[in-house]
Amino acid sequence: MSGSSPFKMRLVHLDLKGAPPKVSYLAEVFPLFHALGANGLLIEYEDMFPYEGHLRLLRAQHAYSSSEIKEILHLATLNELEVVPLVQTFGHMEFVLKHEALAHLREVAFFPNTLNPHKAESLALVGAMIDQVMELHPGARWLHVGCDEVYYLGEGEASRQWLQQEQNTKARLCLSHVKAVASRVLARHPATKPLVWDDMLRDIPEDQLSASGVPQLVEPMLWDYTADLDVHGKALLMEKYRKCGFQQLWAASAFKGATGVSQALTPIEHHLRNHMQWLQVAAHGPADTLQGIVLTGWQRYDHFSVLCELLPVGIPSLAVCLQSLLQGGFAEDVKTRVENFLGMPSLEITGFTSDILALVTQVGLHLRSSVDEMLHRDRYVTGWFSSYHRRRKLIHPVMIQHIQPQALSLLGRWSALAGELEAALRRVFYPDAVEEWLEENVQPSLQQLQQLLQDLGEAAGPEPPVASPGLDTGQEP
């Protein structure tokens, strides 16, 4: 089913560090992933993995159980989706290093981002994490060990002292940890090839990369999520990596979660253009230069950031991007195929593929703007119940008749939609994710309306309100 795609492996990324779906939802979407052209999954478990023993503290409140992990892998097998687990082992270690019991393993004491590469306990920690993950993924051909965005590397006290020694550099420090992690993976799991994100390797000189021994141990994943990706620059980077000795390379695009930290709706055109550029990159290199591509779908920018687009909201974008990779481009026939797959009359933003997408679209496009329209542009509110009036509980009685029914109607309409959306979200996500998304995206606007109505009630009061000096109560609005 590869069509004219230059990517023989097409993996959908599940970023579980935010709004992890229930297994029942994965059972619904895995057949769709397969039908759209995916043949693998990159599962970034983070704190959703059921770590045991001294690592149990890493578990999130609603972490999957071992039996649920096995069910996910079974569902993947049924739908011909090869699973590649991802375990962060260097940067993006917040979910590990935020815990007081492990804080002494931070590179910089105040920041939980990065693991201290100088301590033997650090390697033992990530080794134990890997072993537990691999125990539930026997036979995995690849294991992604992260190693991206290793912020503040070299800024810890041990690193500062180490860097004072001649010939020691941050690049060498980075490569030594990557090599140590990869060597441990291969020693314990010789049939499993480690994958790494490539950003920490890009600027390291060829001779240093070649001499490090890292190219013989890992396969780098070149990631770029921009719509105007530099095709020629990527082709040169692939050539550099091949010269250094890397046998296989991977690409990583994005179908969601890469256009704004608090993005609620997925801009399909941006992600389609990103995939069109990656098709050009693949065409620039020798055949089979790229082992495959991962379509990343980020759910948070990091462990502490807000949620970006929910997975059900990103499905149309995923469908467009996968089908474009499969067919080698995006034309009218591909658009029609996607619409048929999703049961959509149109790929326009008003198209309907799921209750969550439809309801989130309503919230994203209209909730805040409709409330802002009333609070900041309605002539009765801005003219007779401004912030000045609200603080002093002043209002012309006739204005209550103009403002209150409209505010009640708006609040009732959005409250009903919010209830419908909450019920839909609860079918797919755990309670904490539902609470977080609604609190970030819905509640602020509803609370503004509730506060307006409360202020109106207090201003009306049991006694007729005192007119503000200069207010001509006889003037018609």
Catalytic residues: 149
- DSSP assignment of 418-475 equals HHHHHHHHHHHB-HHHHHHHHHHHTHHHHHHHHHHHHHHHHHH-SSPPPPPTT--TTS
Token output for 56: 């149990």
How far apart (Å, rounded) are the C-alpha atoms in residues 69 and 59?
A: 14
Query: Do the Cβ atoms of 254 and 298 come closer than 8 Å?
Result: yes
Three-state DSSP string of 43-67: EECHHHCCCCHHHHHHCCCCCCCHH
| DSSP type of residue 166 | T
- Residue 249's H or E segment, with its range, is strand 249-256
Three-state DSSP string of 350-410: CCCCCHHHHHHHHHHHHHHHHHHHHHHHCHHHHHHCCHHHHHHCCCCHHHHHHHHHHHHHH
Residues pairing with 389 in the sheet: none
Residue 416 to residues 12, 365, 411: CA-CA distances in angstroms? 34, 17, 8
In the three-class reduction of DSSP (H, G, I as helix; E, B as strand; rest coil), residue 294 is classed as strand
Q: How many residues does the chain have?
A: 477
How far apart (Å, rounded) are the C-alpha atoms in residues 321 and 255?
A: 7
354: region left, alpha or beta (phi > 0 left; psi from -120 to 50 alpha): beta
